[in-house]
């Protein structure tokens, strides 16, 4: 029973049972938090050698409450919400699960692109409101033959490109890592720069990591092709939300689909809530059942690998 021995691993937010089972099979006492409330978790953290978190992250104050901590596992690719400087100062390893949920995120990105191009939410509302004549003026467009611009070309973007090419779209990508030859292997052209990509893409899909100010600020959004579609399944901080809401309200963009926000959840009064032709989902890109299983198992294995290699005795504070 969990109460018979000190907690080894605190799971800050629920993960799939397959991951918890793997941790327990390895002999760890696991506590799954009802919510990521530091005050409620201090007693559990005081003995924990491992923590697994999702978008709640793990800050310096939480690390201070965990003197035995050896490893922090991020359930997913992002480690933005983990205080990496504090972890480095303590010698705490930080591990993540790149690629484990890539297919799930890619499928949501494609779903949002299709939904925006076909005005699905408007069509659904029209039927429910008995406005069958909506179809006569529907703003649906075909995607075949249109240009998809990918910002970033990691595991998710590559899957999005493959699906887009299969339906007849042209695809170009802006990547700091993949050169033109590598992109060509995937049937993708290399964009000369962000401004050029935005100016000619019918659909823009974001797959990068923020580096300070929003990548798509008011100026960048103003430079997008009139009538374009924007999809963001990467990081909310990549987009100036007020500028996007304004562009949609003025009809400069046809539609947008967002799965991520800054902050999360979006605050009441966020201008996005009043924007037309906008589909919002609650950061579910990586939450397909299969992806949740893969990610939970992957983060459990990564955490166990660090613990197995650590020389720290069980429940003893790490020497500095």
Q: What is the pLDDT of residues 273-316, one digit of tens each?
A: 999 999 999 999 999 999 999 999 999 999 999 999 985 444 44
Same domain as 255, residue 117: yes
Q: How many residues are present in the chain?
A: 320
314 falls within a domain: no
Same domain as 274, residue 188: yes
Query: What torsion do the CA atoms of 247, 252, 254, 259 make, to the nearest 10 degrees?
Result: -20
79 falls within a domain: yes
Q: Which domain range does residue 134 map to?
A: 102-280
pLDDT range class, residue 317, cuts 50, 70, 90: very low
Which residues are known to be catalytic?
235, 264, 283
Same domain as 250, residue 208: yes
Q: Residue 115 sits in a domain of what CATH number?
A: 3.40.50.720
pLDDT range class, residue 55, cuts 50, 70, 90: confident
CA distances from 76 to 16, 86, 206, 233 (A): 13, 20, 17, 13
Q: How far apart are CA 100 and CA 278, in angstroms?
A: 28
320 falls within a domain: no
140 falls within a domain: yes
56 falls within a domain: yes
Query: How are strands ordered across the β-sheet holding 50-53?
Result: 30-32, 9-11, 50-53, 71-74, 93-95
Cβ atoms within 10 Å, residue 101: 25
């Amino acid at each position: 029973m969990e109460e018979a021995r000190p907690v080894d691993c605190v799971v800050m937010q629920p993960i799939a049972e397959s991951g918890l089972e793997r941790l327990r099979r390895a002999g760890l006492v696991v506590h799954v938090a009802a919510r990521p409330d530091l005050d409620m978790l201090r007693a559990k953290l005081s003995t924990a050698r491992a923590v697994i978190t999702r978008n709640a992250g793990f800050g310096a104050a939480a690390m201070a409450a965990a003197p035995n901590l050896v490893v922090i596992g991020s359930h997913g690719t992002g480690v933005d919400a983990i205080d990496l400087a504090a972890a480095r100062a303590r010698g705490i390893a930080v591990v993540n699960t790149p690629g484990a949920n890539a297919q799930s995120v890619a499928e949501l990105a494609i779903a949002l692109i299709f939904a925006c191009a076909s005005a699905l939410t408007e069509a659904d509302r029209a039927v429910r409101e008995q406005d069958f004549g909506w179809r006569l003026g529907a703003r649906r467009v075909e995607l075949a033959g249109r240009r998809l611009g990918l910002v970033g070309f990691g595991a998710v973007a590559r899957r999005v490109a493959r699906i887009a090419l299969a339906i007849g779209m042209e695809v170009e990508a802006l990547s700091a890592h993949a050169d033109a030859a590598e992109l060509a292997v995937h049937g993708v052209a290399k964009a000369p720069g962000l401004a050029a990509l935005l100016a000619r893409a019918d659909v823009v899909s974001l797959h990068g990591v923020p580096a300070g100010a929003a990548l798509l600020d008011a100026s960048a959004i103003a430079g997008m092709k009139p009538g374009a579609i924007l999809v963001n399944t990467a990081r909310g901080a990549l987009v100036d939300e007020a500028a996007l809401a304004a562009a949609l309200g003025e009809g400069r963009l046809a539609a947008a689909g967002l799965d991520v926000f800054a902050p999360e959840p979006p605050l009441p009064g966020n201008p996005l809530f009043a924007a037309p032709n906008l589909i919002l989902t609650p950061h579910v890109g990586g939450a397909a059942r299969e992806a949740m299983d893969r990610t939970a198992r992957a983060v459990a294995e990564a955490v166990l690998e660090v613990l197995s290699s650590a020389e720290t005795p069980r429940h003893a504070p790490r020497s500095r």
